[in-house]
Amino acid sequence: MHMDAAGEVLLERRGCAGVITLNRPKFLNALNLNMIRHIYPQLKNWEQDPETFLIIIKGAGGKAFCSGGDIRVISEAGRANQKIAQDFFREEYRLNNAIGSCQKPYVALIHGITMGGGVGVSVHGQFRVATEKSLFAMPETAIGLFPDVGGGYFLPRLQGKLGYFLALTGFRLKGRDVYAAGIATHFVDSEKLGMLEEDLIALKSPSKENIADVLEAYHTKSKIDQDKSFILEEHMDKINSCFSANTVEQIIENLQQDGSSFALEQLKVINKMSPTSLKITLRQLMEGSSKTLQEVLIMEYRLSQACMGGHDFHEGVRAVLIDKDQSPKWKPANLKEVTEEDLNSYFKSLASNDLKL
């Protein structure tokens, strides 16, 4: 086993598996550049190692798998114009891509809070195991960002327009709903998670099918909320019709016209978000729906760098994470002031500074 100097991530070979433990429980295992720089080369090594048959990633402390990227630090660096804001996103997205293309079965135990960057180090892997304590969200539009880490790839591929809804509103899914939405591939009662891990590690030279069988067995035996229907089931028709518009303005009009309490609730939420973020996000998902994961990450890297140079991300981090007054002053302050020209500039190629995968 080895860990980085600060002990923020633990990397160990156990039985047939390489195990990654995100180890910043006091910070809800938020991902920083140091952690990414340790995980990436180890993942690549295990992928090549004939003795490693699967990779497991989990969070320490029981409260969070990973609450996201350590964005406060990134905002401070971005404002000070330090290179870390470029490096963080570049290396984080490279890790997301390495997980998405990993040749070994990759099992993410997404127990507890799993948001933003935490979704990026789990959802692109082959297996994602949720528990009744899982809490999923892509809350970036509330901080002047967009659902990155490959959100432009996985969100538009969820059922109907569910991904568009989750991306624009930051709606939180809990427990079995994380599985019902298609974010997780399996659901296991949390008290059985330790046993599941031990059973996976004890497998002898397992194939992908052997690993899937173990996960399936635990999934089938899980009891919690077994008969509960998906929380958004009754609203899916509304979500599909309201969120199928090509502009944020039209989505808002659809919600207004729908007039149901659910639609009006979502309207209230969307109206608090960064207008620039909303427009970027809708276009990101529409474009991402027909791109590969690699193409999406290249697009998202362009967006990340434009956001670092803009106003809303730093203002969102201030309002939500630093001063905690929860009242960001967005610029532009409304949707109609975010022009097509503004939007195009966010998606522009960075030429030699583009992300290389």
Sheet holding 17-22, edge to edge: 2-3, 9-14, 17-22, 54-59, 106-110, 127-130, 186-187
Domain boundaries, the chain: 9-353
| Rounded Cα–Cα distance for residues 122 and 66 (Å) | 9
Our CA angle for 116, 301, 40, nearest 5°, is: 65
- DSSP H/E element including 22: strand 17-22
- Render pLDDT for 123-139 as a digit per residue (tens, 0 to 9): 999 999 999 999 999 99
Residues that are catalytic:
69, 117, 140, 148
**CB count in 10 Å sphere of residue 79:** 14
Phi first, then psi: give them for residue 124, nearest 5 degrees: -85, -5
The predicted structure's pLDDT at residue 291? 98
Nearest CA to 165 among 257, 48, 248, 260?
Answer: 248
Q: Indicate the pTM of the whole model.
A: 0.96
- Render pLDDT for 160-190 as a digit per residue (tens, 0 to 9): 999 999 999 999 999 999 999 999 999 999 9
**CB count in 10 Å sphere of residue 198:** 11
The predicted structure's pLDDT at residue 5? 65
Instruction: Kindly tell me if the per-residue pLDDT of 82 is higher than 80.
Output: no
Our CA angle for 223, 125, 90, nearest 5°, is: 135
- 9-353 CATH, one of 3.90.226.10, 3.30.342.10, 3.40.1160.10, 1.10.150.130: 3.90.226.10
| Rounded Cα–Cα distance for residues 335 and 326 (Å) | 20
